Structures are given as structure tokens and as C-alpha cells.
Amino acid sequence: MGRYMDGFYEGLGQMGVVPVVVLEDAKDAAPLADALVSGGLPSAEITFRTPAAAESIRLMHEGRPDILVGAGTVLTVEQATAAVAAGAGFIVSPGFSRDVTLWCLAHEVPVLPAAVTPTEVMAVRELGIDVTKFFPAKHYGGLATIETLAAPFVGHRFMPTGGVDARNLSEYLSCPSVIACGGTWMVRADLIAAGRFDEVERLSREAAAIVGECRDR
């Protein structure tokens, strides 16, 4: 795997938490980015679940270069292409699409496909990828399943997303096979809709503190 992936993995591990964001209106992108950076979580996975996704990525990328912004819920090569054109620094998929993954590798774009079964992990590893998303974590057994998968796939690491929050973040991050966690609790839709970016910042700071405590152990 190229240095671009190694560098991405290193940065992901340092961040510890990647906020997973659904934005209905691109006007919220800039204040959200400010809140995340101020709260100590300088990253965002903007999901391709709304028409505002690409424009939100562009505004974050151009207006706040100190935040690592990527695209999530990427299901097709067309979405991956649009995301990267808008400035996405990485691509995340909720499952394993061989076409999307190969496109990203061919264009040296860091990619995190999801894998929750031994067969899926093997398929991803055959392409040289050492880190995968684990989604939805809560419904696929959470940390217990990750630890079970990690036993045969030595060195493989996961980014659990779905059911992760401030209450169990420390438990997840204590597992050597967890590189980072994806979470929505600090960027809830109701907070964004109400313009409560002060609360986004507070929750982000709380999450960043948990990461710091886990990394200092």
C-alpha cells in the first residue's frame, strides 16, 4: 500500500474520532467546521445522503484547510468522483464495493470500505487494505465481534461506526484493533438545524478529551 494510505492511517489513529455528518444545507458547513476544529476534532465525514454533500465538502475544504474532510456513504464510482472533485480527502463506504475501492486505489485516494464478516475482511485485505469501517457496529456485535475478527486477521484494524457515543468510546478505543471511531452524537441533525454549534463544540471537546485519555494510557 502506498504512503498516502500509511499517512492517512496514522492521522486517523491520532484523531481517534471522526464525526459523521449529514448536512441538509451547505450553509451549515462552515460554522460546523469551525465548531469541530475548536472542539479538537478537526475532521468530518460528510455523508452522500443529501444533495448538499458535495457543496458542503467544497466549502469545508476551501474555507477551513485545517480540517480533514472526507465523503461517507459513498456507494458508486460517480459519487466518489464527485466527492474528490469537491475536495474530499478520503472516501468511506457503508459496505464493500470493489469498483469504488479499486477506483480510489487507482487515484491514490484513501478509502475505508466496510467489512463485518470474515469473507468481507478477506476480500478487502486481498486488495492490500489494512483498515476497514465496521458498520453498523451496534447491530453486528460491537467490540466483541471486532475482537473475534482481529484474532485470525492479525494486524487488521477497524473503525466502528453506528452505536458509538461518549458512553462507550473509551471502551472501543481501548481495543488495539480499533484505529478510531466514527460518531454522530456530537453532530446530531437537531443541533445543526437549530444552529447549536456551541453544543457541537462542547460535545466535540468532550470526545477529544476521551481520546486524549485513551491515548495517554
Strand pairing report for 17-21 and 157-160:
unpaired
User: Mean pLDDT over residues 67-86, rounded?
Assistant: 98
User: Mean pLDDT over residues 25-50, rounded?
Assistant: 98
% the chain with pLDDT above 70: 100
Q: Is the pLDDT of residue 118 over 80?
A: yes
Q: Is the pLDDT of residue 194 over 80?
A: yes
Any idea which of 1-5, 15-19, 133-137, 155-159 has the lowest mean pLDDT? Answer: 1-5
| Residue 13's pLDDT band (cuts 50, 70, 90) | very high
| Residue 117's pLDDT band (cuts 50, 70, 90) | very high
User: Mean pLDDT over residues 24-48, rounded?
Assistant: 98
Whole-model pTM: value is 0.96
78 is catalytic: no
Catalytic residue among 10, 120, 133, 201: 133
Catalytic residue among 27, 45, 55, 213: 45
| Residue 1's pLDDT band (cuts 50, 70, 90) | low
User: Mean pLDDT over residues 111-134, rounded?
Assistant: 97
138 is catalytic: no
Classified by CATH at the fold level, domain 3-212 comes out as TIM Barrel (3.20.20)
User: Mean pLDDT over residues 173-177, rounded?
Assistant: 97
Confidence at residue 215, expressed as pLDDT on a 0 to 100 scale: 82
